[in-house]
Every structure is written in structure tokens, then in C-alpha cells.
Amino acid sequence: MILSVVKERAANERRVAVTPDVVKRFVGLSLEVRVEHDAGLAGGYPDEAYVAAGAQIVDDPDALWRECDIVLKVRQPETDGASGRNEVGLLRAGAVIVGMLYPLTNPALVKALAEAKVTSFSLDQLPRITRAQTMDVLSSMSTVAGYKAVLLAAAHHGKFFPMLVTAAGTIAPAKVLILGAGVAGLQAIATARRLGAVVEAFDVRPAVKEQVESLGAKFLAAEAITAEGEGGYAKELSEEQHKRELELIHQVVKGVDVVISTALIPGKPAPVLITEAMVRDMRPGSVIVDLAAEMGGNCELTRGGDTVTRHGVTIMGPLNLPADTPMHASQMFAKNLLAFLTPMLKEGQLTLDFDDEVVKGTCITHEGRIVHEATRQAVEGGKRS
């Protein structure tokens, strides 16, 4: 079987789906691996490293799509998008694509994949079960984003993060507040602590208190503000609880230098946790890094993809931080892909078991049909409206 690794064409995307280390593993699983010329260069992986790992470098991108059995990507393939390319149209019927396709919000892509009779897997739909942890690209990318958000804040802030005792006097450590202590928030806590900041965190899932404390941060206790939903995720707070949460955050943000906000609720816009009135009351020079920017932002003043300064506070709304740490983001993504595909690869052939909840949970289209129930509903719902 021929496995293609193609170059990401989205603007500012520097990741690559498969790194040379993982190429070696696929070759060991009896696959012929072809890599597009310079596919990994922006991430720090040159063609020579892929060749040394056993891959063949291909100059013609269309040939990679046309002649493969499996194509691996980070982002969605082009249908007839901005670049004018139709990558899905190049795939042969029965070919397999794996990546982060976000099918629930990309009906045109899903329809194109079904029409092309491509078998597509979207790793953003992976069930978050223990067995699938090694395949969990969302956790990997959240880890990268949480880390990088703290570095962005530290680089931008006019203060040191650690306490320093110098001949020029003692410098107090920076104070950091983390809102949302899921995967990204916990990594942000760990990173800010490593830099020496004093860290506080809040989440509506009380279960994370122990994890927050084990990282050396203080958990802002608020017994009446909890909203644990299905599958360990948060759900929306009641109006009354949300009001109480805003009051709590308002008190705390007045005394911090940095806020990293990561609060998300599956399938909903991000909850607003930092209002303009709060920003006005923050210390001048403070920095907010809003990791929820893609879902509308946790701060009322966030502009997705932009950095703005309001009332002396810098508010950053980065949209794709993992692409700014492409070497390790690609390494983690590639390892997740390997863990996902290995159980399906038997003697160089792909065997799909639709009774397996990982296969069932991630397979979006197969043999011309949309087989993923939530995606089918989203696509059909879109047709009606």
C-alpha cells in the first residue's frame, strides 16, 4: 500500500502530519511511504531526513494524491478552496484520508469526500476513552497551545515571571490566572510554574482541583459554580452561576499580571468570562492570551487572530498556536496517527472493523456514504436550513 504525506497549504501552517521517525515505523509496517518535496521543511524536517527514514520524495503534489492508498494530513484537504486546488477530486475511489477534518462544521468537504467514495477519518472526533489516549490529537495540540500561550504572555509582558533577588533589589514573581483547567489549561499552569510565576486557576469542573494543586497552583474554590456535563466535559452554567463566576473572576483579575483563558464547552460558543469592565480594572501592562479565540473568545474584547490593546491591557487571540511550535506539534501528531493506524494495519493492508468504537467514532465517509451519525445530522440539518 502507498501512503502519501502531503504538504499543508493553509496559511501560516508549519506542521506536517508525519515526521521521519514515524515514516520509519510505517515502512516497518510494510507500507511504501511517499512524501511531498519540502512537506516537513517549515517544521524542521528536511527531505533528506525522510529519505534516510525510507521514504521517497515526490515533486508533483497531484501525483501524491492520485496514486496513494492512504493520505495523511494535519488540516482539511482542499476541495475547490482558496488555492483553486481540488485535492479530494484527485483521490481514487476507496482511498483513505486521515486528518483533522472538523466534519461537523465542514459540510461541503464531507459531501465531496462522500461523492469521491473516499474513506475519511477525522481525528478530532476520536472518542476520549483510555485506549485512545495515545491517538488523541486534540490533547496533543492543546498541550502545545497551553505551553505556547504562556511563552507568548511572558515574552510580551514587561515583567519577569520568576522572583529574582538581585543587587538592584528583589523582584516579585508575576501572578498568572488560568481560566479553564482542561488539557491546555493544565499545561499552561505547568509552564507558568516552571517560569516561576505564582499561579491561580479556576474551572467549573471541581474534579480538576487536585490536578491544579498537584502542579503547584491554587485552585479558586467556588462550590456553587460547577457544571460537569457528559463525558467529563463542562456544560453551560445557569445564568445565576455565570453571574457568580464573573464576580469571582472580576475580583481576581484586578490583582494578576497575566490571564490565560482556555474555557470551552463542546458544540457551543466559548463562555464569556472576562468582560470589558474587568479589563478596565486590570493592572496596566497586563496580558490576556485567549486560547478560546477560535470559538468566539473568553474575553469580550478578543479579536480572533489579532492582538489588541484596550485600557492598557494587551489581549491576544491566537488561532493556531500549535503551528508556531511545529517541530514538537508534528512529532506528537505523527505519533498519534501511528497509534491510530497501527491496529488497522495487518500485513500492509488496512482492515476496518466498524464494531470498534475508535473506528466507528472517527470514520466520517465510507463507500460513498456519510457513516458518522453526528456528521450526517449536521450535513442534513444544514441542507434544511
| Site residues, ligand NAD (CB under 6 A) | 128-130, 132-133, 136, 139, 142, 179-185, 202-205, 232-234, 237, 245, 262-266, 271, 273
Residue 45 in grid coordinates:
524536517
Report in angstroms how near the CB of residue 260 gets to ligand NAD at its nearest: 11
Report in angstroms how near the CB of residue 153 gets to ligand NAD at its nearest: 18
Given the residues 136, 203, 257, 290, the one annotated as active site: 136
Report in angstroms how near the CB of residue 212 gets to ligand NAD at its nearest: 10
For ligand NAD, give the closer residue by CB, 92 or 243: 243
Structure letter (DSSP) for residue 234: B
* Total residue length of the chain: 385
For ligand NAD, give the closer residue by CB, 119 or 143: 143
Given the residues 128, 131, 280, 369, the one annotated as active site: 128
Given the residues 133, 238, 349, 377, the one annotated as active site: 133
Residue 290 in contact with residue 316, Cβ under 8 Å? yes
Contacts of 36 (CB under 8 A, 6+ apart): 4, 5, 6, 7, 57, 58, 61, 64
Rounded Cα distance, 271 and 30, in Å:
47
Report in angstroms how near the CB of residue 150 gets to ligand NAD at its nearest: 16
For ligand NAD, give the closer residue by CB, 125 or 142: 142
Residue nearest to ligand NAD (CB): 182
- Residue 70's closest CA among 119, 106, 108, 29? 119
Strand partners, 219: 201
Residue that the C-alpha cell 486534540 belongs to: 138
Rounded Cα distance, 240 and 247, in Å:
11
Catalytic annotation present for 233: yes
Catalytic annotation present for 133: yes
Q: What SS3 state is found at 315?
A: strand
Catalytic annotation present for 355: no
Report in angstroms how near the CB of residue 180 gets to ligand NAD at its nearest: 3
Catalytic annotation present for 139: yes
Query: Which contiguous run of DSSP H or E holds residue 88?
Result: helix 87-90
Strand partners, 70: 3, 96
Q: What SS3 state is found at 368?
A: coil
Instruction: Please spell the DSSP secondary structure of 135-148, one letter per residue.
Output: G-HHHHHHHHHHHH
Residue 239 in grid coordinates:
445564568
Given the residues 233, 241, 244, 283, the one annotated as active site: 233
For ligand NAD, give the closer residue by CB, 265 or 313: 265
Q: How many other C-beta atoms can be found within 10 angstroms of the C-beta atom of residue 237?
A: 18
Given the residues 139, 261, 286, 331, the one annotated as active site: 139
Residue 217 in contact with residue 202, Cβ under 8 Å? no
Give the angle subtended at the CA of 182 by the CAs of 176 and 186, to the nearest 5°: 45
Report in angstroms how near the CB of residue 205 gets to ligand NAD at its nearest: 4
Report in angstroms how near the CB of residue 217 gets to ligand NAD at its nearest: 14
For ligand NAD, give the closer residue by CB, 86 or 226: 226
For ligand NAD, give the closer residue by CB, 65 or 202: 202
Residue 124 in contact with residue 105, Cβ under 8 Å? no
For ligand NAD, give the closer residue by CB, 226 or 342: 226
For ligand NAD, give the closer residue by CB, 18 or 291: 291
Contacts of 100 (CB under 8 A, 6+ apart): 74, 75, 76, 122, 123, 124, 137
Q: What SS3 state is found at 113?
A: helix
Q: How many other C-beta atoms can be found within 10 angstroms of the C-beta atom of residue 69?
A: 18
Catalytic annotation present for 50: no
Strand partners, 308: 315
Report in angstroms how near the CB of residue 303 gets to ligand NAD at its nearest: 21
Active site residues: 128, 133, 136, 139, 233
